[in-house]
Amino acid sequence: MKGRLFIIAGCSGVGKGTLLNLFLERNPKIKLSISATTRKPRKGEQEGVNYFYISKEEFLNSIKNDEFLEWTEFSGNYYGTKKSFVEKTLNKGTDLILEIEVNGAKNVKAQKPDAVTIFIMPPSVEILEQRLRGRHTEDEETIQKRLNEAQREISEGQKFDYKIVNDNLEDALSNLQAVFDKEGAKNA
């Protein structure tokens, strides 16, 4: 039996990372895919844990060699999911989560219609901005770019299989767990 593929998207600062850290602690058999990116590591982020941090040249090379299941340019940086990692994990029977932005999510869903898409919604755009600023990891220009993407992402998010509002964190976590349970994730 192959593993199931789950795709989680949502605006920058909505709380995807926070939710997923807690979710994966509670569901240790489910794996999170590690993407490649050309963005610089944030304070506290680690190579091979949060991302594989590569140069633009290496990234363009991987595109040329058809190594990505999907890739995108977001807010001035490249991000991509390696085919080999996804296929190896699913073939082992392990359920896998991709935490990617909406274009990547659409692209993967078109290739793998069985994938379950989940969009994490902010309670409001004002709260999204507060969270993004409150994280203190981006400069003003980056915050503005990310907020500019938010409205488009929220409208794209309406087409996802499931939508979860991350207002109260514990409520959002139980709603996320309920989706995985319903979809028959092995560890759920």
Per CB under 6 A, residues contacting ligand 5GP are: 12, 35, 39, 70, 72, 74, 79-81, 99-101, 103-104
User: x/- string (CB under 6 A) for ligand ADP, residues 6-35?
Assistant: ----x-xxxxxxx-----------------
- Among ligand 5GP, ligand ADP, none, partner that 39 touches (CB below 5 to 8 angstroms by kind): ligand 5GP
What is the spatial distance between Cα 164 and Cα 67, in angstroms, rounded to a whole number? 31
Comparison of 45 and 47: residue with beta carbon closer to ligand ADP: 45
Residue 15: phi and psi, rounded to 5, are 115, 20
DSSP per position, 31-79: EE--EEESSPPPTT--BTTTEEE--HHHHHHHHHTT-EEEEEEETTEEE
41 binds ligand ADP (CB under 6 A): no
Out of 4, 31, 109, 131, point to the residue binding ligand ADP (CB under 6 A): 131
- Among ligand 5GP, ligand ADP, none, partner that 134 touches (CB below 5 to 8 angstroms by kind): ligand ADP
- Among ligand ADP, ligand 5GP, none, partner that 104 touches (CB below 5 to 8 angstroms by kind): ligand 5GP
- Among ligand ADP, ligand 5GP, none, partner that 119 touches (CB below 5 to 8 angstroms by kind): none
Q: What is the DSSP letter of 160?
A: S
What is the spatial distance between Cα 173 and Cα 43, in angstroms, rounded to a whole number? 25
Residue 136 makes CB contacts below 8 A (sequence gap 6+) with none
What is the spatial distance between Cα 133 and Cα 140, in angstroms, rounded to a whole number? 9
Out of 84, 134, 152, 181, point to the residue binding ligand ADP (CB under 6 A): 134
In this structure, are strands 77-82 and 35-37 parallel, antiparallel, or unpaired?
A: antiparallel
Tokens of 5: 């593929």
50 binds ligand ADP (CB under 6 A): no
Q: What is the DSSP letter of 93?
A: T
CB of 10 to ligand ADP, least distance (A): 6
Residues that bind ligand ADP (CB under 6 A): 10, 12-18, 131, 134-135, 166, 169, 172
